[in-house]
């Protein structure tokens, strides 16, 4: 221990910094800090973190250690500083040593970072980087997507194929340069290069030509940080329609890239928190309310969220227009800002102010990241194929988030977030959790931290399942991980559960099988550091229950070791099982039969004209004969039924379409709601009464949302009398519904209850792996 009494003596200390400290300019930061304070010694990367040997007077060393935590680079995350005494070696200065590869414990790895403003300036001013589209420095550029193994050095990345030139080497070795020890450093002489292929002719990238292709209604296939993207004019109906045909994606919304934040505000309403998310180093897609003539001055489409709108005094005028085919009936837009030099150059070269920006893949397939695959898929059908000759080692989709419930809610966790570690309130070392089959991520425990994989997709798709398995192998190799305990979903038919079972049996063990909704609640508990029992509500579409039925509206009092089920919504039959998820009219028809409503004939008449009499008659026989009609308490299925009853969505073009459309028409100024105390079928009957009375869909939607929110709050309030903690966990995919989450949080606050929801992992099934891991840890 260094004390004040020894502050004048020369001391030596060995430090090991754990966390996200590689690929974020940490060693150059340490070098400069040591030089400023007169500390001597060295710093080096190792697999288990950054190691420092520091020599100096006691007060110098104390100040040095204190400032490491206070002034660390913005993209870094210092989790722990391990200190031990060392022997003085009489160092005359401070140096950065060669990295030391070790086996065993592995430190965190930086996510990919958006290009910084200084590098964009370098593209225009530095002769050797003029127009260099892969410019980067210690504060920006690719990280996770180019790394093969630790330590994070050029030789261990896909930059190993590009020997550094003399000019870049000088910058790399200059302590006063932003590229001091920047591993992906490069320029026009030594770095990877872009090429474009249009009309069968390959050439250097010509941005004017690319802008002209977009203006003419063409589509670009462009290699990004984590994979290929498809780009077209967001205002062009024909271009967007052709893009949907190319991807096989009928109605699921597309993300839109805007050139700058001012352009975003022309098209969308943007709060302060949403602007922070848009411009953050994560650089995700942020779901925003579309700015239209109807909602420009406020009114019925205002969100309940009280977060003030950013950019007060934004100039009046016409809202920017995008094609209705971009969001297909929704009142929201998934906005993203440029994060690569290529994106910035495209907007500066005359491209439209709003560009559809979507992953290059056939609907349901994983993101395309290999040049040859992109050429086969899009080489002949796009206006131009644009690529660069550096390999993407770890493919990663763009992350997606929104502001809801008073904070950032992650919907898809990938580029910009992964592989950032999450600190846990318990030890989870050696635990592998396979996650769910939908929106899959997996989790690996390392000490008291956990790393989640990037979004792997839905594992029912064979290519997505192969990506899942490949990513498991890559993560295990990258982090030196060998599972000592394995967890998975309780559902025996999930591909993730079968994979976990085979993996466990190969190691002579059985997996810990975790109930789906318990895992959801545990994921929220773990990320918030909660170790006591809580009252939790989890609402989603489906999850395998202990009784073999389909659960999905669970009120639970639980800790990591177990749970008590304190209620759920009423059971609804799903004629045809999974077919009812894709065709919500089936659930609606079954619920009408269950409710015995007098107006079933009138509603069915409209259904017959849309679906056909033969199909409806077949499903009615399944309902009345109780044939292949499993019961579900899933809140998502109740939303589906109401969306179908109101005529919004008979057949779902994508997961959650009906509920999203129902939310988009909700009248936010209405407080009245349906009474849920008598069960789901009674709510269905009230909905049909309103339809028969000519009540508008917007009011029906508001009454449905408000009634459900009230029911949730009354139920968890009763549960809290048992736990007495005042903490309510809210999770599950249904709470991606911003209006519902906002209202529940607001009502709970009025009752002096603390509402917690997922912030570090997705509230949907993308966060289940964290909960599985936490529950498995409790069973050791």
Over pLDDT 90: what percentage of the chain?
A: 80
- Among 730, 779, 775, which residue's Cα sits nearest to residue 488? 775
The residues near 36 (Cβ < 8 Å, ≥ 6 apart) are: none
Residue 307 has pLDDT above 60, yes or no: no
- In the predicted model, what is the mean pLDDT of residues 724-738? 97
Q: CB 548: neighbour CB atoms within 10 A? A: 8
d(CA 470, CA 473): 5
pLDDT grade, residue 73 (50/70/90)?
confident
d(CA 717, CA 714): 5
Residue 151 preceded by cis peptide, ω within 30: yes
SS3 for 263?
helix
The residues near 245 (Cβ < 8 Å, ≥ 6 apart) are: none
578-593: per-residue pLDDT in tens? Answer: 999 999 999 999 999 9
CA of residue 691 relative to chain centroid, distance: 37
Instruction: Give the pair of three-digit tokens for residue 500.
Output: 């976990």
Phi and psi at 246, nearest 5°, equal -65, -40
Q: What is the pLDDT of residue 6?
A: 47
269-283: per-residue pLDDT in tens? Answer: 999 999 999 999 999
Asked if residue 538 lies in contact with residue 565, where contact means CB atoms within 8 angstroms, the answer is no
Whole-number average pLDDT of the chain = 92
Q: Which of 64-78, 187-201, 480-494 has the lowest mean pLDDT?
A: 64-78
Q: What is the pLDDT of residue 302?
A: 41
Residue 300 has pLDDT above 80, yes or no: no
| Angle value at C-alpha 310, between 308 and 316, nearest 5 degrees | 110
Please state the pTM of the whole predicted model: 0.92
> Which DSSP category does 159 fall into?
G
> Which DSSP category does 736 fall into?
G
SS3 for 371?
helix
DSSP E strand stretches across 447-562: 449-452, 485-489, 512-514, 534-544, 550-558
d(CA 382, CA 384): 5
The residues near 405 (Cβ < 8 Å, ≥ 6 apart) are: 730, 735, 738, 741, 742, 744, 745, 755, 757
Which residue in the block uniquely carries the two structure tokens 């570090």? 760
Q: What is the pLDDT of residue 4?
A: 43
Instruction: Give the pair of three-digit tokens for residue 10.
Output: 């020369």
Q: How far lies 85's CA from each of 14, 18, 372, 514, in Å?
A: 6, 18, 54, 45
DSSP 12-59: EEEEEEEEE-SSSSHHHHHHHHHHHHT-EEEEEEETTEEEEEEEEEHH
Asked if residue 460 lies in contact with residue 496, where contact means CB atoms within 8 angstroms, the answer is no
612-649: per-residue pLDDT in tens? Answer: 889 999 999 999 999 999 999 999 999 999 999 999 99
Q: What is the pLDDT of residue 596?
A: 85
Q: What is the pLDDT of residue 316?
A: 41
| Residues 297, 301, 306, 311, CA torsion sign | negative
Q: CB 317: neighbour CB atoms within 10 A? A: 8
- Among 680, 674, 745, 758, which residue's Cα sits nearest to residue 716? 745
Q: How far lies 196's CA from each of 136, 191, 719, in Å?
A: 21, 17, 61
pLDDT grade, residue 310 (50/70/90)?
low
DSSP E strand stretches across 191-248: 194-198, 201-203, 220-223, 228-233
- Among 293, 443, 447, which residue's Cα sits nearest to residue 456? 443
CA of residue 530 relative to chain centroid, distance: 22
| Number of H-type helices and E-type strands within the chain | 24, 30
d(CA 545, CA 490): 8
d(CA 211, CA 218): 9
Q: Are strands 400-404 and 285-290 parallel, antiparallel or unpaired?
A: parallel
Residue 304 has pLDDT above 80, yes or no: no
318-328: per-residue pLDDT in tens? Answer: 677 899 999 99
Q: What is the pLDDT of residue 7?
A: 53
Q: What is the pLDDT of residue 24?
A: 84
| Residues 154, 157, 159, 163, CA torsion sign | positive
pLDDT grade, residue 8 (50/70/90)?
low
- In the predicted model, what is the mean pLDDT of residues 451-455? 98
- In the predicted model, what is the mean pLDDT of residues 744-760? 97
d(CA 167, CA 504): 51
- In the predicted model, what is the mean pLDDT of residues 759-770? 98
Q: What is the pLDDT of residue 756?
A: 97
Q: Are strands 422-423 and 268-269 parallel, antiparallel or unpaired?
A: unpaired
pLDDT grade, residue 301 (50/70/90)?
very low
Phi and psi at 370, nearest 5°, equal -105, 135
d(CA 771, CA 522): 5
The residues near 202 (Cβ < 8 Å, ≥ 6 apart) are: 195, 196
With residue 425 as reference, give the H or E element that holds it.
none
Instruction: Report the length, in residues, of the chain.
Output: 780
DSSP 334-349: EEE---SHHHHHHHHT
Instruction: Give the pair of three-digit tokens for residue 457.
Output: 């997709």
Asked if residue 266 lies in contact with residue 382, where contact means CB atoms within 8 angstroms, the answer is no
d(CA 164, CA 182): 11
152-176: per-residue pLDDT in tens? Answer: 889 999 999 999 999 999 999 888 8
Q: What is the pLDDT of residue 309?
A: 62
- The residues facing 584 across adjacent strands are none
SS3 for 643?
helix
652-675: per-residue pLDDT in tens? Answer: 999 999 999 999 999 999 999 999
- Among 428, 451, 429, 425, which residue's Cα sits nearest to residue 530? 425
d(CA 237, CA 241): 6
Question: 23-32, 142-151, 409-418: which has the highest mean pLDDT?
Answer: 409-418
The residues near 136 (Cβ < 8 Å, ≥ 6 apart) are: 115, 119, 142, 182, 184, 185, 186
Q: Are strands 485-489 and 431-433 parallel, antiparallel or unpaired?
A: parallel
Residue 306 has pLDDT above 70, yes or no: no
91-104: per-residue pLDDT in tens? Answer: 888 998 887 776 65
Q: What is the pLDDT of residue 297?
A: 35
SS3 for 231?
strand
pLDDT grade, residue 231 (50/70/90)?
very high
Asked if residue 582 lies in contact with residue 651, where contact means CB atoms within 8 angstroms, the answer is yes
Q: CB 89: neighbour CB atoms within 10 A? A: 11
390-449: per-residue pLDDT in tens? Answer: 999 999 999 999 999 999 999 999 999 999 999 999 999 999 999 999 999 999 999 899
d(CA 582, CA 188): 50
């Amino acid at each position: 221990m260094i004390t004040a009494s020894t502050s004048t003596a020369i001391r030596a200390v060995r430090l090991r910094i754990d966390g996200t400290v590689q690929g974020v300019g940490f060693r150059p930061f340490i070098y400069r800090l040591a030089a400023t304070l007169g500390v001597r010694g060295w710093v080096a990367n190792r697999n288990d973190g950054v190691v420092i040997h520091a020599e100096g007077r006691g007060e110098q060393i104390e100040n040095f250690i204190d400032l490491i935590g206070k002034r660390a680079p913005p993209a870094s995350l210092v989790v722990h500083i391990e200190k031990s005494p060392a022997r003085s070696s009489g160092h005359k200065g401070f140096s950065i040593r060669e990295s030391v590869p070790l086996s065993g414990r592995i430190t965190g790895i930086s996510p990919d970072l958006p290009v910084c403003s200084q590098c964009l300036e370098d593209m225009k001013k530095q002769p050797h980087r003029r127009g260099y589209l892969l410019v980067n420095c210690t504060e920006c550029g690719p990280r996770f997507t180019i790394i093969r193994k630790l330590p994070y050095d050029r030789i261990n990345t896909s930059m190993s194929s590009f020997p550094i030139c003399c000019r870049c080497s000088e910058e790399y070795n200059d302590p006063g340069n932003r590229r001091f020890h920047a591993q992906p450093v490069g320029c026009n002489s030594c770095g990877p290069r872009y090429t474009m292929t249009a009309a069968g002719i390959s050439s250097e990238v010509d941005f004017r030509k690319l802008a002209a292709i977009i203006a003419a209604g063409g589509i670009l296939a462009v290699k990004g940080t984590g994979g290929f993207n498809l780009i077209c004019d967001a205002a062009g109906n024909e271009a967007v329609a052709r893009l949907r045909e190319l991807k096989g994606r009928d109605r699921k919304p597309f993300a839109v890239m805007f050139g700058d934040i001012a352009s975003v505000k022309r098209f969308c309403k943007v709060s302060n928190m949403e602007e922070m998310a848009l411009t953050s180093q994560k650089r995700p897609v942020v779901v925003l309310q579309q700015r239209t003539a109807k909602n420009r001055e406020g009114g019925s489409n205002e969100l309940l969220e009280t977060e003030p709108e950013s950019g007060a005094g934004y100039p009046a005028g016409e809202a920017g227009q995008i094609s209705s085919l971009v969001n297909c009936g929704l009142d929201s837009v998934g906005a993203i800002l440029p994060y690569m030099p290529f994106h910035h150059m495209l907007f500066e070269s005359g491209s439209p102010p709003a560009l559809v920006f979507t992953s290059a893949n056939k609907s349901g397939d994983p993101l395309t990241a290999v040049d040859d695959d992109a050429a086969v898929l899009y080489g002949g059908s796009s206006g131009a194929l644009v690529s660069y000759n550096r390999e993407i080692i770890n493919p990663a989709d763009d992350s997606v988030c929104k502001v809801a419930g008073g904070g950032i809610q992650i919907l898809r966790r990938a580029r910009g977030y992964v592989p950032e570690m999450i600190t846990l309130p318990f030890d989870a070392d050696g635990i592998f959790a396979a996650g769910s089959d939908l929106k899959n991520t997996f989790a690996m425990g390392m000490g008291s931290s956990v790393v989640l994989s990037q979004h792997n997709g839905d594992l029912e798709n064979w290519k997505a399942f192969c990506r899942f398995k490949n990513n498991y192998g890559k993560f295990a190799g990258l982090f030196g991980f060998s599972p000592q305990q394995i967890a998975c979903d309780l559902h025996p038919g999930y591909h993730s559960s079968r994979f976990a079972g085979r993996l466990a049996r190969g190691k002579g063990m059985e997996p810990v099988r975790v109930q789906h909704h318990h895992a959801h609640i545990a994921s929220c508990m773990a990320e918030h550091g909660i170790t006591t029992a809580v009252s939790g509500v989890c609402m989603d579409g489906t999850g395998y229950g202990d009784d073999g039925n389909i659960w999905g509206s669970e009120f639970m009092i639980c800790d990591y070791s177990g749970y008590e089920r304190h209620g759920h919504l009423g059971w609804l039959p799903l004629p045809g099982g999974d077919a009812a998820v894709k065709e919500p009219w089936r659930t609606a028809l079954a619920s009408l039969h269950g409710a015995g409503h007098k107006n079933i004939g009138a509603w069915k008449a409209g259904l017959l004209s849309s679906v056909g009499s033969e199909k409806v008659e077949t499903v009615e026989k399944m309902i009345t004969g109780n044939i292949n009609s499993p019961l579900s308490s899933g809140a998502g299925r109740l939303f589906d039924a109401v969306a179908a009853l109101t005529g919004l969505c008979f057949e779902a073009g994508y997961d959650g379409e009906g509920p999203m459309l129902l939310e988009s028409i909700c009248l936010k100024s209405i407080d009245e709601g349906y009474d849920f105390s008598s069960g789901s079928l009674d709510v269905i009957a009230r909905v049909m009464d309103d339809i028969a009375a000519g009540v508008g869909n917007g009011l029906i939607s508001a009454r449905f949302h408000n009634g459900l929110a009230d029911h949730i709050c009354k139920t968890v309030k009763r549960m809290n009398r048992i736990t007495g903690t005042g903490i309510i966990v809210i999770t599950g995919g249904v709470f991606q519904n911003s209006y519902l989450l906002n209202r529940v949080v607001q009502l709970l606050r009025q009752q002096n209850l603390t509402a917690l929801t997922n912030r570090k992992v997705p509230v949907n099934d993308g966060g289940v792996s964290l909960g599985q891991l936490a529950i498995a840890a409790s069973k050791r």
